[in-house]
């Protein structure tokens, strides 16, 4: 092994001597964790993590003359936080802005930025998705994901939970190199790996880090992806049934990177370890505000994970329903939005005039005696908006004792409103949605009898209260209701595109179940929570099924299979609706709702190799050092034939059309036959009024499996129209429909 730079102990001594003189006069510099990208050495192949770490230490030591350290401490030992070598070349360290500035002049330096905070994107789902035991189907053809390793970056794990039992599980495959930092009895053939990366509390090293989940989030997501079968899973008697993850025979490896929040340097460390350990799928139910890929831990780490054949599934974020809110939006990641399932925990409100309105609540005490009680809307009495929201301390001036209290959604937490009502002596709560959340209700674990109703019912109740001198209401608990119409529907919180970072790639990619998802928890056996955090591990598990069935498929091929087979209709055979119960747009649903049964046999795939993203990154206008930092080799965009976002061989299509009468905009795409040999496909393209689209050639014939064929799709405006508009391209054979959504912007 050759070291790329002088590595002399003499140098270290010289540096230490210069430390004192380098002390900066102004004491304004605050030590923060920075992520530092180093030029990837062409001429070395370090054989283990310790050698990389030694090299980074030497770089840090060699930079010591520029570091404003106050004593002759060992710079590397006191400053280095994490060393990376699988998903990036570089390290994280405690540095000041001035030190980074000085370091940026050194020849090994590529880029650096402060570590940022990311947030966690806080059982009937297998059946709803068509996954059933025994019969023909995707669980059969994928053997429930047997042998596939799913790595989760999350808040840890609850060891010993029945969802992580390894009954009947084979040992991990030989390639597994990870370790399990739990008591030996908790590590088994289901839970094969567990490590923690939340090592620092400010500058203090934590002595008591454990992989045990203090939150519940990581336990929930892990069991959703690959939990074992647990009989009679339920929460307070509701949603009772056989619980399991999407890939019940896949292995789980847990990388704890979050406590209350998650830092980018720890996220990168978790990904670095997961890639080195040999996971097949990474499941990441956390995210930050959208930032450019070269400073985004998940985008950066994700690129180097997919480069090693690892599929990366991420939550889209919970910042909906506004547009331009989607995160984890790099084209090499799968970006998962959240939708409802066809199950409700019904709490019906009966008004004194006989109207019945169906709402939801998780808290349904079995001994509750339903009766009509006085109904009060504190907001109407005081005319004060805080009172209408049932904010803490606002109900003191209103007599709510023994009454059912109407509260508006917003500002404070939903469950907290119930606590406020209960404290004031209220007997029950009706929680009504605001216009923003419209039909998107939640089954929460309230502290008193309650029902959460859609916005459309808010007006009905308020009109009724106003119409009578003695309004009354009762709450009637009806337990679990199945086959709820309009399912799946988009959750109001699910983040929407267009992407701020790459608007020319349609994001999110796909929807999965993310509302009232029952899965394992830390304090009780099961809990039901909502978020794109819950939809992401559904797709992680499903990708493990596909990976088992098609071990040679690239991450891009798996993604293409999921996208081109997605469903756009709900259980009434109508277009999937959003929280307002109007058809959801492409920036909400992406390709549609996942259909695992079809995803395992897509017919054709739009494939991409890691190197295909380089011309795309250059096309985004990212500077050379940052492209080099992402792809870990020296890239000069001036010598790369860069492409626009639309030219990436992505399974969905986004096009921006200039004024009427101008030239055609054309994209070439390449599809690979992963179905049967000797199959013919015909193109069918539908686009919004005002746009003409054509596909050449209109037929593709595949003589062989894995054969590739290219086609060109062209668009032109032919009349008036406003963007954004929608369309779809379908390649249709006797057995398959390979569908790409088309998103059209008009200039
Ligand atoms: C592991 O076992 C030790 C000794 O029995 C115990 O003190 C510790 O709490 C256990 N750790 C976990 C994570 O259960
Ligand atoms: C470590 O211990 C301290 C003090 O008991 C506690 O406040 C903190 O939450 C613990 N940290 C972890 C990661 O468990
Ligand atoms: C309401 O405020 C009181 C007093 O500040 C506090 O003790 C209580 O915990 C608060 N309740 C909720 C539900 O936040
Ligand atoms: C209540 O009734 C009064 C008088 O009929 C009307 O002015 C007011 O708008 C009504 N308020 C609501 C919330 O319906």
| pLDDT per residue as tens digits for the range 88-137 | 999 999 998 988 998 999 999 999 999 999 998 864 344 555 566 655 57
Assess contact for 360 and 443: CB atoms under 8 A: yes
Q: Which residues are catalytic?
A: 154, 217, 533
Q: Is the pLDDT of residue 78 over 90?
A: no
- Closest to 448 measured CA to CA, from 410, 405, 412: 405
Is there a cis peptide before residue 707, judged by omega within 30 degrees of 0?
A: no
Distance 5 CA to ligand 2 centre (A): 41
Asked if residue 45 has pLDDT above 60, the reply is yes
Q: Of 156, 161, 183, 194, which is best to mutate to test ligand 1, by the most ligand atoms within 8 angstroms of its C-beta? A: 183
Atom number, ligand 1, closest to the C-alpha of residue 182: 13
567 to each of 487, 574, 592, how far by Cα in Å? 12, 11, 5
CB burial of 98-133 (b: ≥16 within 10 Å; e: otherwise) equals ebbebbeeeebbbbbbbbbebbbbbbbbbebbebee
What is the enclosing helix (H) or strand (E) of 154?
Answer: strand 149-154
Distance, CA of 28 to CA of 416 (rounded, Å): 41
pLDDT tens digits, one per residue of 146-170: 999 999 999 999 999 999 999 999 9
Q: What is the pLDDT of residues 406-420, one digit of tens each?
A: 999 988 889 999 999
For a ligand 2 pocket test, name from 202, 206, 263 the mutation site with the most ligand atoms within 8 angstroms of its C-beta.
Answer: 206
User: What is the C-alpha separation between 569 and 288, in angstroms, rounded?
Assistant: 31
Report the atom number in ligand 3 closest to the C-alpha of 419: 13
**How many Å apart are CA 486 and CA 658, to the nearest integer?**
37
- What rounded mean pLDDT belongs to the chain? 90
Report the pLDDT value the prediction gives residue 5, as an integer from 0 to 100.
32
Residue with tokens 């304004």: 28
Distance between start and end Cα atoms, the chain: 56
Provide the CB-side half-sphere exposure for 711 (13 A, CA): 21
Q: What is the pTM of this model?
A: 0.90
Distance 238 CA to ligand 1 centre (A): 33
Q: Cis bond leading into 680, ω under 30°?
A: no
Centre of ligand 4 to C-alpha 472, Å, is: 18
Least confident of 176-180, 389-393, 525-529: 525-529
Q: Is the pLDDT of residue 10 over 70?
A: no
3-state secondary structure of 693: strand
pLDDT at 493: 92
Q: What is the mean pLDDT of residues 42-55?
A: 86
pLDDT for res 7 = 31
Question: pLDDT tens, 680-698?
Answer: 999 999 999 889 999 999 9
* Cα–Cα distance measured from residue 535 to residue 533, given in angstroms and rounded to the nearest whole number: 6
Q: Average pLDDT in the 393-415 region?
A: 92
The pLDDT > 90 percentage for the chain reads 73
Nearest ligand to the CA atom of 465: 4
């Amino acid at each position: 092994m050759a070291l790329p730079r002088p590595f002399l102990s003499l140098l270290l001594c010289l540096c230490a001597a210069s430390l004192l003189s380098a002390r900066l006069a102004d004491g304004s510099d605050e030590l923060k964790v920075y992520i530092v990208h180093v030029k990837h050495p062409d001429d070395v192949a370090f054989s283990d993590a310790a050698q990389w770490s030694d090299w980074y230490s030497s770089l840090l030591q060699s930079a010591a003359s520029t570091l404003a350290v106050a004593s002759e401490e060992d710079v590397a030992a006191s400053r280095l936080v994490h060393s990376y070598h699988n998903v990036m070349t570089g390290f994280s360290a405690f540095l000041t802005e001035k030190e980074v500035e000085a370091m940026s002049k050194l020849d090994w330096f590529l880029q650096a930025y402060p570590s940022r905070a990311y947030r966690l994107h806080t059982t009937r789902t297998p059946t709803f998705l068509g996954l059933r035991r025994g019969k023909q189907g995707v669980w059969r053809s994928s053997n429930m994901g047997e042998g596939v390793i799913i790595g989760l970056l999350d808040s840890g794990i609850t060891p010993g939970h029945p969802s992580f039992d390894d009954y009947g599980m084979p040992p991990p495959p030989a390639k597994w190199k990870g370790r399990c930092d739990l008591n030996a009895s908790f590590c088994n053939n289901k839970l094969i790996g567990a490590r923690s990366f939340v090592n620092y509390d400010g500058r203090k090293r934590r002595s008591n880090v454990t992989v045990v989940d203090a939150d519940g989030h990581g336990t929930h997501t892990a069991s959703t992806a690959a939990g074992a079968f647990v009989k009679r899973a339920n929460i307070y008697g509701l949603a009772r049934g056989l619980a399991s993850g999407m890939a019940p025979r896949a292995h789980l490896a847990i990388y704890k990177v979050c406590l209350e929040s998650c830092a980018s340097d720890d996220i990168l460390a978790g990904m670095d370890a997961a890639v080195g350990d040999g996971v097949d799928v990474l499941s990441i139910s956390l995210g930050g505000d959208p930032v450019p890929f070269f400073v985004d831990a998940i985008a950066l780490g994700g690129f180097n994970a997919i480069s090693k054949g690892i599929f990366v599934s991420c939550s889209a974020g919970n910042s909906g329903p506004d547009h331009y809110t989607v995160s984890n939006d790099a084209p090499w990641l799968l970006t998962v939005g959240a939708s409802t399932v066809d199950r409700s925990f019904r709490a019906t409100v009966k008004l004194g005039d006989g109207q019945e309105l169906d709402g939801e609540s998780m808290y349904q005490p079995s001994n509750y005696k339903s009766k009509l009680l006085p109904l009060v809307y504190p907001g109407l009495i005081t005319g004060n908006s805080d009172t209408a929201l049932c904010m803490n301390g606002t109900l003191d001036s209103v007599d709510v004792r023994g009454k059912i209290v109407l509260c508006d959604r917003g500002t404070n937490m939903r469950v907290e409103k119930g606590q406020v009502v209960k404290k004031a002596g209220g007997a029950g709560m009706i929680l009504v949605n605001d216009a923003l959340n419209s039909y998107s209700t939640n089954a929460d674990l309230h502290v008193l009898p309650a029902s959460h109703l859609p916005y459309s019912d808010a007006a009905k109740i308020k009109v009724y209260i106003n119409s009578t001198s003695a309004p009354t209401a009762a709450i009637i608990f009806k337990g679990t209701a199945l086959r709820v119409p309009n399912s799946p529907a988009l959750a109001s919180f699910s983040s929407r595109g267009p992407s701020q970072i790459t608007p020319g790639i349609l994001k999110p990619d796909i929807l999965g179940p993310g509302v009232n998802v029952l899965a394992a928890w830390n304090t009780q056996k099961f809990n039901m929570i909502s978020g794109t955090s819950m939809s992401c591990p559904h797709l992680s598990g499903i990708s493990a099924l596909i990976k088992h069935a098609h071990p040679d498929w690239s991450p891009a091929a798996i993604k293409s299979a999921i996208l081109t087979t997605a469903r756009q209709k709900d259980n009434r055979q109508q277009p999937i609706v959003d929280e307002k119960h109007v058809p959801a747009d492409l920036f909400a649903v992406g390709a549609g709702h996942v259909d695992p049964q079809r995803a395992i046999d897509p017919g054709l795939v739009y494939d991409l190799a890691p190197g295909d993203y380089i011309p795309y990154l250059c096309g985004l206008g990212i500077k050379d050092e940052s492209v080099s930092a992402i792809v870990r080799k020296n890239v000069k965009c001036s010598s790369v034939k860069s492409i626009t976002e639309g030219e990436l061989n992505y399974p969905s299509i986004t096009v921006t059309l200039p004024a009427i009468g101008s030239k055609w905009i054309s994209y070439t795409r390449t599809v690979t036959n992963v179905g049967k040999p000797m199959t013919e496909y015909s193109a069918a393209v539908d686009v919004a009024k005002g746009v003409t689209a054509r596909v050449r050639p209109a037929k593709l014939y595949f003589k062989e499996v894995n054969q590739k064929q290219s086609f060109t799709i062209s668009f032109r405006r032919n009349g008036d129209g406003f963007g954004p508009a929608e369309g779809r391209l379908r390649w249709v054979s006797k057995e398959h429909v390979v569908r790409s959504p088309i998103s059209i912007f008009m200039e």
